[in-house]
Structure 1
Amino acid sequence: MNNDLHAYPVRAVKGVTPAKAKELEALSIGTVADLIEYYPFRYEDYHIRDLAAVKDGEKVTVQGKIYSEPVLQMYGRSKSRMTCKVYIDPLFISAVMFNRHFLKDRLHPGQDIVLTGKWDGRRLQLIVSETELPGGSSSQTGTLQPVYSITAALTQKWMRKTIQQGIVQFGALVTEVLPVPIVDKYGFMPRKQAVYRIHHPDDAAEGKQARRRLVYEELFFFQLKMHAFRALQRKRADGVAHEFDNEVVRQFVRGLPFKLTDSQKKVIGEILHDLKQPYCMNRLLQGDVGAGKTVVAAAALFATVRAGCQGALMVPTEILAEQHKKSLDKLFEPYGVQVGLLTGSATDRQRRETLAALHMGLIDVVVGTHALIQDDVLFRKLGLVVTDEQHRFGVNQRSVLRRKGMNPDVLTMTATPIPRTLAITAFGDLDVSTLRELPQGRKPIKTYALGHDKLDRVIAFIRREVLEGRQAYVICPLIEESEKLDVQNAIDVHVQMSHAFPDFRVGLLHGRMPTQEKDAVMNEFKEKRVQVLVSTTVIEVGVDVPNATVMVIYDAIRFGLSQLHQLRGRVGRGEHQSFCILIADPKNETAKERLRVMTETNDGFEIARRDLELRGPGDFFGTKQSGLPEFKLADLMSDFETMEQARDDSADLVADPGFWTSADMLPLREFLQREQILDGEQLD
């Protein structure tokens, strides 16, 4: 018998038919290991309780005696409602059972009965979901029953039975995977016992102990991969060791039209040090909106070009790509660095010319969107890959670009400040650099939350700012269910604003417009020929118009905190005081709290922390492709302390030379082998 549970298909478990195996496959259960490690997300409590302590609407299990014959009402051939009086000391209650008419002949006055259902204290009524009579074959009274995420074609009863069968058949193969010193250090339950008890706890305390052990294990193996990857990556030294003169880069920095902040200088130093190393740089640059990440990236790209390599900068939108191209052209022109642009809207001729120049090395730095990762994009010598707003690209998209060079250095940038809770999780294999300061002269943006009934005041305020020579954004929410609705929303608001400001030019921008039309509108706004720009969130990232001082966001509660902060960051980029006005009529406390946070702070890191608390890590990046791991049991908020313990323990292990040779550590090295970490596979 093979000792690896992953070697046995789930069909090997008795009772799993081909049809059931297909349903399990939809839950990513393909092996016996997947089945046994498919953990419940909660438990149903079937312990007998006193009705006096039960709240209305709560599910409860009670024990009593049937007092009256059941009364049955049929609706059609199969639907029914049956009621009977049950004495549950000291109350007489009505037990109501829907579509359970088959029980009528089995329920008799004086008979003991256990009922589970939803309690209605006002009516003294229990809506029964389960019944248990004396002599029943499978009593669950007095137990905690696991509840699993399942498809419509499976039942909880079948899932419980099947997982139990898997444990009975293959439980002997569940072996200890954590080093003995770690098990002893935390007093963990043995693995075999934990796997059994997570599915079948005798009580809540035992379930918690099993979960504690398995959560640590899950986080430990995640962190072990990260630390082993970094250790091996540096040991292999198979990256590009860029050779450039630091003084040349210093001259470039001194020639910039503005003074760098201390944060920017420090981060550029970290990146230049990494570029000269023989291993691949894998660095995350995070900074608040407007902190100057692009200039840092420009210095890194300049150093790469001076070392004889090419650089690539991938951004999520064409508007942003064109903006970065213009910025880099201006910065690099005195040094003869050639910058190319590659986006989806390029003509066939433009694309052919750019691809040829890139392949021949005539383009030093290329800026582009997803168009950069097409198969026909070839570099002469790609040395540095920079991705901006990295969470907008899927894991696969980022790795495709990286593979276009021979282990190029990688710099990922984000203006969504990531709380430490997430940074060591989603980016545990990266070195993290942070820009905390804003450039000199930036004034904090004043933020206000107003109801829709104050719209007249908002319009008057916009008028005042525009008459003083400023400009304003008016943002409409993206409605994901229907992009037509989104466009219509923006068009309606554009009409309203055009009526409100007949003496100003009011522009319209949304994602359904052709690229050339979007560019024309954006350029008119930049050149001050449009005073008020009505837009969807297409302007969320990176668009830079220093003269814009007003940001009005309609239906602000439709957005997460981090997105509101990103939108707010489109203003406050010039010398004048800027304002953000959030228009919303919040109906719930979470929405009110979001607005309150926005009006109280401009600190993106504090906003990110609160956003994580309010929305949870799953929605934090707004995309399932963010690279965030999906843990079976662990929760990034409540289990953060365990994550830190697992990180420290795995780091200590990997740093010990004995880890790589000791027989005791063989199971952990085999795990890394299965995960292809020992083969030099890049982590994503």
Structure 2
Amino acid sequence: MMKLDQIAVRQAKGVSAQKEQELHAFGVHTIADLLDYFPFRYEDYRIKGLTETKDGEKGTVQGKIMSVPSLQRYGRSKSRLTCKVLVDGLLVTAVWFNRPFLQEQLVPGREIILTGKWEQRRLQLTITDSEFPDKGTARSGTLQPVYSIGGSITQPWIRKTIKQALLQYGTMIEEMLPHQLVDKHRLMPRREAVERIHQPDDTVEGQAARRRLVYEELFLFQLKLQAYRSLNRKRMDGVAHVVDAESIRQFAQTLPFELTDSQKKVVNEILTDMRQTSCMNRLLQGDVGSGKTVVAAIALFAAVKAGHQGALMVPTEILAEQHLRSLQRLFEPVGMEVGLLTGSLSDRKKKDAVASLQMGLTDIVVGTHAIIQEGVNFRSLGLVVTDEQHRFGVNQRSILRRKGLNPDVLTMTATPIPRTLAITAFGDLDVSTLRERPQGRKSIQTYWVKHGMLERVFGFIRREVDGGRQAYFICPLIEESEKLDVQNAIDLHVQLQQAFPDLAIGLLHGRLPAAEKDEVMRSFGDDHIDVLVATTVVEVGVDVPNATLMIIMDAERFGLSQLHQLRGRVGRGGHQSYCVLIADPKSETGRERMKVMTETDDGFEVARRDLELRGPGDFFGTKQSGIPDFKLADMAADFEVLEQARDDAAELTAQEDFWTSRAYERLRMVLKQDQLFQGDLLD
């Protein structure tokens, strides 16, 4: 028998070829897609009294027409139709705009049902819908679903089409969840939930249907993560590092600073993982400047001391060179060899680097994705650290696993995520968090100014540069745009050159060739550039300790997390650093962002507020992170359900029964259809 996801949406009654194409634009290709095309809210057509309808809000009331209607016309097509209606003992004015055809139907003494905005002071209802009980009502007394639509698809058409599809195919809706979970959480059966979310009798029923479907959506998401994690632990024996605690202590004493309590705790979590036979899969998150690199260095040291090799993978070549220099300083005293492997190395140097890894002469390699390319082999790779790869989804991490080496993996990110959300979103990872700043690290002072104060900002630049410091000036666009009235990097570069003819003003943006980008950043790092005008290319990982001033033009155009990342480019040396946000935000959200940035420089607090303002889809960069765009679920609002779904999925996938019993065959099929489980992982 065919499944709903195998039946084309064209088979639903009333769907023409044109409508089918329009539905495809909304991602609706099959009957299953159509039935899962859920409303995002409801219009309430249930009849209430005027006393239950709040002033300024929409409501539905029933009354009797008490006067002959009056019609006023404006120009060719505009009109205003009014009449008096008796509702709950009050004589109110009902107003219809641009519906002159109703005039003949508004007969004194006739019963009428009105839906519209209630203005208590004027005793007036501005009507959006009206019906006559003597004709038989179509909508009143119900909650009507409201869908995301466009083109020629209207609300009445999509409502009617989904209703028809439920009549045709409703009996084919299959249960997705194991009966014990349905019983445990007292959930509606799936068929009833799908019917009720489209056609609820009341809000309680609609909420119960949503609760069931939200749980299912989050459970299936978590099932994928927990199944992947469970299979990795069962089948992927990794490197069990024999780590000598005393040698770790001695290495920590050679570091140029004392570890914070937070760093010590996280190091212990990582070393405990590394001692296990199963692969480590851990996310290390910490605010900008919290000392993640030092923690990674200790983990790499432990891998080498245990007789293996380590790799640090970073997103850009300039960041690779930066890490190379800092790791060489740390490992030189203990006699460990650190090498570099990037795409721009000459063929000869690349060949030498690969050979050195294969023979085990290089203990630790720092590089870009070149590290995991074909032909790069290690004598014994024990640990891979990926830096600033918070956009690495589960699928990408599984590709790394499939190199056949099964190393421990430590993923680092400077995008703080509320810890509980991180544990749940990255269900296949264990999460360690650095909360403390290293001793002596000064707080960055942040100011918000309007565009009219640009001259004063220029004075601030002059003061810092005259004091021997450097400044960043960030713009949202590269070139002028007719659509967005925002300062662009190229124009600003010219403006600053004119304002400061005696200073070296650099320009950095995404369209520059890679070699030119690297050259500009090297010049800035070597103090040959005083002020660097840039787009958000500098957001990730660039470390220039002498830069003390970060100016962000049109700051309201950036998200909170991005603003915080940019701010983190300064404050890396011993000098007091500043961040200046230049913005004239028109929206409440824009003003709120500026407020948050000036109130706190704690990345976790910024992340929490960002989540409130933007929601998790934007927060994680859904397309990169592997987190889907949920149809109903909201990871912030539905967090408790998300945690419960995670626990249920973890418990289920840990049972041998799950992988063999026919009772879970449907769930195993869901996993097999996922890209993550392609190949032999489930065979």
TM-score clears 0.5: yes
Query: Which has the larger displacement, 580-589 or 196-205?
Result: 580-589
Residue 146 of structure 2 corresponds to: 147
Alignment of 1:74-85 (within 5 A): 83=81, 85=83
Residue 538 of structure 1 corresponds to: 537
Alignment of 1:583-662 (within 5 A): 583-622=582-621, 624-655=623-654
Alignment of 1:225-244 (within 5 A): 225-241=224-240
Question: 2:604 is matched by which residue type in structure 1?
Answer: F
User: Against the structure 1 CA distance between its residues 508 and 251, is the aligned structure 2 distance closer, same or farther, given a 3 Å change threshold?
Assistant: same
Q: What CA deviation, in whole Å up to 9, does each residue of 1:491-530 have, x standing for no partner? A: 3333443344444333332223333333333223222233
Q: What CA deviation, in whole Å up to 9, does each residue of 1:237-296 have, x standing for no partner? A: 344445676766666555444443343343334334434433332211101101222233
User: Against the structure 1 CA distance between its residues 84 and 377, is the aligned structure 2 distance closer, same or farther, given a 3 Å change threshold?
Assistant: farther
Alpha-carbon shift at residue 555 of structure 1 (Å): 2.4
Residue 198 of structure 2 corresponds to: 199
Alpha-carbon shift at residue 573 of structure 1 (Å): 1.4
Q: What CA deviation, in whole Å up to 9, does each residue of 1:139-170 have, x standing for no partner? A: 12111111222342433223222322332233
Aligned equivalents of 1:480 and 1:21: distance in 2? 40
Residue 323 of structure 1 corresponds to: 322
User: Against the structure 1 CA distance between its residues 233 and 517, is the aligned structure 2 distance closer, same or farther, given a 3 Å change threshold?
Assistant: closer
Aligned equivalents of 1:119 and 1:480: distance in 2? 49
Residue 285 of structure 1 corresponds to: 284
User: Against the structure 1 CA distance between its residues 342 and 640, is the aligned structure 2 distance closer, same or farther, given a 3 Å change threshold?
Assistant: same
Alpha-carbon shift at residue 427 of structure 1 (Å): 0.4
Query: Which has the larger displacement, 359-368 or 464-473?
Result: 359-368
Does 2:25 align with 1:26? yes
Aligned equivalents of 2:346 and 2:55: distance in 1? 66
Aligned equivalents of 1:408 and 1:681: distance in 2? 19
TM-score, structure 2 normalization:
0.84
User: Against the structure 1 CA distance between its residues 546 and 347, is the aligned structure 2 distance closer, same or farther, given a 3 Å change threshold?
Assistant: same
Alignment of 1:442-461 (within 5 A): 442-461=441-460
Question: 2:320 is matched by which residue type in structure 1?
Answer: A
Query: Which has the larger displacement, 14-23 or 137-146?
Result: 14-23
Alpha-carbon shift at residue 435 of structure 1 (Å): 1.6
8 Å CA contact retained: 2:652, 2:658: yes
Residue 432 of structure 2 corresponds to: 433
User: Against the structure 1 CA distance between its residues 583 and 248, is the aligned structure 2 distance closer, same or farther, given a 3 Å change threshold?
Assistant: same
8 Å CA contact retained: 2:486, 2:554: no
Aligned equivalents of 2:347 and 2:134: distance in 1? 79
8 Å CA contact retained: 2:317, 2:342: no
8 Å CA contact retained: 1:360, 1:379: no
Residue 341 of structure 2 corresponds to: 341
Question: 1:616 is matched by which residue type in structure 2?
Answer: G
Aligned equivalents of 2:342 and 2:681: distance in 1? 26
Alpha-carbon shift at residue 329 of structure 1 (Å): 4.3
Aligned equivalents of 2:166 and 2:312: distance in 1? 51
User: Against the structure 1 CA distance between its residues 167 and 30, is the aligned structure 2 distance closer, same or farther, given a 3 Å change threshold?
Assistant: same
User: Against the structure 1 CA distance between its residues 286 and 217, is the aligned structure 2 distance closer, same or farther, given a 3 Å change threshold?
Assistant: same
8 Å CA contact retained: 1:340, 1:363: no
Alignment of 1:393-404 (within 5 A): 393=392, 399-404=398-403
Residue 489 of structure 1 corresponds to: 488
Alignment of 1:184-223 (within 5 A): 184-223=183-222
8 Å CA contact retained: 2:240, 2:277: yes
SS in 2 for 1:96: strand
Aligned equivalents of 1:612 and 1:192: distance in 2? 33
SS in 2 for 1:171: helix
SS in 1 for 2:571: coil
SS in 1 for 2:647: helix
8 Å CA contact retained: 1:253, 1:299: yes
Alpha-carbon shift at residue 416 of structure 1 (Å): 0.7
Aligned equivalents of 2:680 and 2:269: distance in 1? 25
Residue 464 of structure 1 corresponds to: 463
Aligned equivalents of 1:378 and 1:385: distance in 2? 14
Alpha-carbon shift at residue 299 of structure 1 (Å): 3.8
User: Against the structure 1 CA distance between its residues 662 and 530, is the aligned structure 2 distance closer, same or farther, given a 3 Å change threshold?
Assistant: closer
Aligned equivalents of 1:22 and 1:356: distance in 2? 55
Does 2:561 align with 1:562? yes
User: Against the structure 1 CA distance between its residues 421 and 268, is the aligned structure 2 distance closer, same or farther, given a 3 Å change threshold?
Assistant: closer
Residue 96 of structure 1 corresponds to: 96
SS in 2 for 1:35: helix
Question: 1:465 is matched by which residue type in structure 2?
Answer: E
**Structure 1 residues without counterparts, runs of 5 or longer:** none
Residue 85 of structure 2 corresponds to: 87
Question: 1:208 is matched by which residue type in structure 2?
Answer: Q
Alignment of 1:661-672 (within 5 A): 668=667, 671-672=670-671
8 Å CA contact retained: 1:322, 1:341: no
Question: 1:342 is matched by which residue type in structure 2?
Answer: T
User: Against the structure 1 CA distance between its residues 400 and 649, is the aligned structure 2 distance closer, same or farther, given a 3 Å change threshold?
Assistant: closer
Alpha-carbon shift at residue 324 of structure 1 (Å): 2.6
User: Against the structure 1 CA distance between its residues 118 and 346, is the aligned structure 2 distance closer, same or farther, given a 3 Å change threshold?
Assistant: farther
8 Å CA contact retained: 1:479, 1:486: no
Aligned equivalents of 2:389 and 2:47: distance in 1? 52
8 Å CA contact retained: 2:510, 2:537: yes
Alpha-carbon shift at residue 398 of structure 1 (Å): 5.1
Alpha-carbon shift at residue 198 of structure 1 (Å): 1.1
TM-score, structure 1 normalization:
0.84
Aligned equivalents of 2:137 and 2:54: distance in 1? 28
Aligned equivalents of 1:599 and 1:420: distance in 2? 23
Alpha-carbon shift at residue 43 of structure 1 (Å): 0.9
Question: 1:559 is matched by which residue type in structure 2?
Answer: F
Query: Which has the larger displacement, 314-323 or 104-113?
Result: 104-113
Query: Which has the larger displacement, 115-124 or 600-609?
Result: 115-124
Aligned residues: percent identity? Answer: 63
Aligned equivalents of 1:306 and 1:523: distance in 2? 33
Alpha-carbon shift at residue 432 of structure 1 (Å): 0.5
8 Å CA contact retained: 1:426, 1:629: no
Alignment of 1:162-201 (within 5 A): 162-201=161-200
RMSD: 4.1
Residue 497 of structure 2 corresponds to: 498
8 Å CA contact retained: 1:313, 1:365: yes
Query: Which has the larger displacement, 59-68 or 574-583?
Result: 59-68
Question: 1:426 is matched by which residue type in structure 2?
Answer: A
User: Against the structure 1 CA distance between its residues 357 and 11, is the aligned structure 2 distance closer, same or farther, given a 3 Å change threshold?
Assistant: farther
Alignment of 1:38-187 (within 5 A): 38-49=37-48, 58-63=57-62, 67-68=67-68, 83=81, 85=83, 87=85, 89=87, 90-91=90-91, 93=93, 95-96=95-96, 98=98, 111-116=110-115, 130-133=129-132, 139-187=138-186
8 Å CA contact retained: 1:57, 1:120: yes
SS in 2 for 1:638: coil
Aligned equivalents of 2:479 and 2:125: distance in 1? 41
**Structure 2 residues without counterparts, runs of 5 or longer:** none
Alignment of 1:336-415 (within 5 A): 337-343=337-343, 367-369=366-368, 378-380=376-378, 384-393=383-392, 399-415=398-414
SS in 1 for 2:441: coil
Aligned equivalents of 1:59 and 1:152: distance in 2? 26
Residue 261 of structure 1 corresponds to: 260
User: Against the structure 1 CA distance between its residues 173 and 516, is the aligned structure 2 distance closer, same or farther, given a 3 Å change threshold?
Assistant: closer
User: Against the structure 1 CA distance between its residues 325 and 83, is the aligned structure 2 distance closer, same or farther, given a 3 Å change threshold?
Assistant: same
SS in 2 for 1:624: helix
Aligned equivalents of 2:226 and 2:153: distance in 1? 39
Query: Which has the larger displacement, 542-551 or 305-314?
Result: 305-314
